[in-house]
């Protein structure tokens, strides 16, 4: 009786990584969008995490990996050749994840069943024998470098490694206590930073809702509205909900609105875990109307998310002029509506996790609302407002302390 050959250990995770990588470059999906389908056949969370890590590092270092492949081939492989794609993820494992070359070969070449295995084996072997290496900082795609201009080298340096884990505390007065309990460092009141790879659910304070995961830069917009003192605030485009939790913890009466009901389920879960309260509304902000104006509005608008490339390196390769223009149009429409919902004397904070000027600076210059300048003492040490009173962060900032995501933030007065 013939038995099916036993699958090579670890091959399923590499197959899933290949699917993730293809979904980004061929179909323009995000890693998050592609993850469920690509990793559906993996039985353990560790395999799912490995597939994500392989694809993520291959995307983060794509330009440099391609340069290595091209240096070891007599005829240049086509951009979409499967051999090139498999070599990318093989090299990412060896050079970024410290996988031994023999294990890379054993789990990589089977991905080329019926294809040019000998070619891929030869190229990989030649690079191992050199031995090849990556530069200290990933080389950004030419289009991205041109767009980000003089900021590009610093941003690239900030993308060299995936980010640490940031937590926002429900009670900022307990910052020192939680930093000590969790063995982390704090870069601002109400913030604790832990090493990458920390298992969130196992940490002290998780079950009782003492904190939630939120990048330091992502916590800034809600901070800039200050204490709520029982006043009403609209968190527009609220999912997945970190800013809603911040505002509720700061004493605001929060209405959290988002068009995506499934993503709001995560907010409801975190509200229950933390014991905080908010009115959660599933609606399209372009059609919804409030019953009365708010004391403040926080609009963390949908955007291209190019500022999150540290944790989502797919944005380096998915986002182009069309996506930027589409997001800028949506942001303009949302901003025009949001301003109309503020009481006289109220404030609006507008934010995007994007490095593109069309989504940040140009949005503010377009509207006629008065600025309420952000002060240096409202920001964590090491950050400062622009001369216009805005805040612009990027992954190259606070580099010696683990960095942060890229955001544009402004505060306007009604």
Q: What is the distance in angstroms between the CA of the first residue and the CA of the last residue of the chain?
A: 79
CA distance 42 to 307: 30
Neighbours of 193 (CB within 10 A): 22
Quote the radius of gyration of the chain (alpha carbons, Å). 23
CA distance 405 to 305: 9
**What are the C-alpha distances in Å from 149 to residues 145, 146, 153, 279, 373?**
6, 5, 8, 42, 26
In the numeric block, the tokens 């993996």 are attached to 42
353 catalytic residue (yes or no)? yes
Largest CA distance in the chain: 82
Q: Which of 367, 403, 352, 409 is nearest to 386 (CA)?
A: 409
CA distance 260 to 126: 49
- DSSP output for 34-46: HHHHHTTT--SHH
- DSSP output for 60-116: HTHHHHHHHHHHT-SSPPPTT-HHHHHHHHHHHHHHHS---HHHHHHHHGGGGTTS-
Neighbours of 36 (CB within 10 A): 9
Q: Which of 353, 397, 398, 404 is catalytic?
A: 353
C-alpha dihedral sign at 244, 247, 250, 252? negative
- Residue positions annotated with a catalytic role: 353
């Amino acid at each position: 009786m013939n038995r099916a050959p036993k699958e090579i250990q670890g091959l399923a995770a590499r197959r899933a990584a290949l699917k993730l990588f293809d979904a980004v470059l061929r179909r323009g999906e995000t890693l998050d969008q592609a993850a469920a389908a690509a990793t559906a056949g993996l039985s353990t969370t560790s395999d799912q995490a490995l597939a994500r890590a392989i694809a993520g590092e291959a995307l983060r270092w794509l330009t440099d990996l391609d340069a290595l492949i091209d240096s070891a081939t007599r005829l240049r492989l086509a951009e979409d050749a499967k051999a090139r794609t498999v070599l990318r993820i093989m090299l990412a494992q060896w050079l970024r994840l410290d996988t031994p070359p023999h294990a890379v070969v054993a789990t990589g070449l089977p991905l080329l069943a019926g294809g040019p295995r000998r070619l891929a084996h030869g190229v990989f072997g030649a690079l191992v024998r050199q031995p090849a290496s990556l530069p200290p900082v990933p080389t950004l795609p030419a289009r991205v470098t041109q767009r980000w201009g003089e900021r590009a080298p610093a941003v690239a340096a900030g993308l060299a490694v995936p980010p640490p884990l940031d937590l926002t505390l429900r009670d900022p007065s307990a910052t020192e206590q939680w930093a000590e309990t969790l063995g982390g460092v704090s870069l601002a009141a109400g913030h604790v930073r832990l090493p990458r790879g920390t298992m969130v659910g196992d940490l002290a304070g998780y079950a009782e809702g003492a904190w939630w995961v939120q990048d330091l830069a992502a916590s800034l917009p809600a901070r800039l509205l200050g204490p709520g003192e029982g006043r009403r605030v609209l968190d527009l485009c609220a999912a997945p909900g970190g800013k809603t939790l911040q505002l509720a913890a700061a004493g605001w009466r929060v209405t959290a609105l988002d068009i995506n009901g499934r993503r709001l389920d995560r907010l409801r879960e975190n509200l229950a875990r933390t014991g905080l309260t908010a009115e959660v509304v599933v609606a399209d902000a372009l059609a919804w109307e409030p019953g009365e104006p708010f004391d403040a509005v926080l609009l963390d608008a949908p955007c291209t998310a190019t500022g999150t490339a540290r944790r989502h390196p797919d944005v380096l390769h998915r986002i182009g002029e069309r996506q930027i223009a589409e997001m800028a149009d949506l942001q303009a429409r949302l901003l025009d509506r949001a301003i109309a919902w503020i009481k006289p004397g109220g404030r609006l904070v507008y934010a995007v996790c994007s490095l593109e000027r069309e989504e940040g600076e140009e949005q503010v210059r377009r509207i006629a609302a008065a600025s309420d300048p952000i002060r240096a003492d409202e920001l964590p040490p090491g950050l400062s407002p622009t001369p216009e009173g805005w805040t612009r962060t990027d992954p190259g900032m606070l580099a010696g302390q683990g960095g942060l995501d890229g955001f544009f933030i402004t505060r306007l007065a009604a």
